[in-house]
Structure 1
Amino acid sequence: MTHPAVLARLVEEYEMESELRAAGPHGPVRQQMEDVVYTLCVSTGTRDIDAALAAARERLRTAWLGDADAAEAAAQDGRTLSGTAG
């Protein structure tokens, strides 16, 4: 499974490339967009960009919720996420 930080960067890159492409079709922007789309699809195990974005956003949502849940549980136990008393 692709790390959430990588997925977040890919989604951000896709959104930036989409904005650039909307401003006007440019060769390098088109290739960068294709590269990001391909990487997002491979990273999420999907075949189209809509499914890839949905999968990436869901993974990010659950990853961040998982981190929040872990931090909350640790705080209730009087420890930090690294397992030491804080």
Structure 2
Amino acid sequence: MMGARPSLLRELVERCETLRRRVASGGSTQTRRQLEDVTYTLCVVTGTRQLDTALYVARQQLADAMRHEQPLRH
């Protein structure tokens, strides 16, 4: 299976983390809905069904992408 672009994964992971913190500190109904939306998207992109699993897979894919990046040549 081909993974999502690292930039998309990074954006989704950061958004999830931000929204989770907001919800944990008494976030609004709108914030909870935004978290549900980004959770759904991250799960689809990673081929998972739960947020914790999706975050784990996304972080693994990001780490793999970093290892496979070509070093800059001078």
TM-score (normalised: structure 1): 0.78
Amino acid at match of 1:10: L
How far did residue 11 of structure 1 move? 0.3
> Which structure has the larger Rg over C-alpha atoms?
1
Structure 2: which amino acid aligns with 1:50?
A: D
Two-structure CA RMSD over aligned residues (Å): 1.2
Name structure 2 gaps, 5 residues minimum: none
* Alignment of 1:13 onto 2:51: no
- TM-score, normalised via structure 2 length: 0.90
**1:46 maps to which of 45, 48, 51:** 48
Distance apart, 1:30 and its partner CA: 0.7
**Which secondary structure does the structure 2 equivalent of 1:2 belong to?**
coil
The structure 1 segments of at least 4 consecutive aligned residues displaced by more than 2 Å after TM superposition are none
The equivalent residue for 1:61 is 63
Higher relative contact order (CA 8 A, sep 6+): 2
Q: Distance in 1 between matches of 2:17 and 2:32?
A: 13
Which residue in the other structure is 1:35 paired with? 37
Please state how far the C-alpha of 1:12 moved relative to its aligned partner. 0.2
Aligned residues: 72
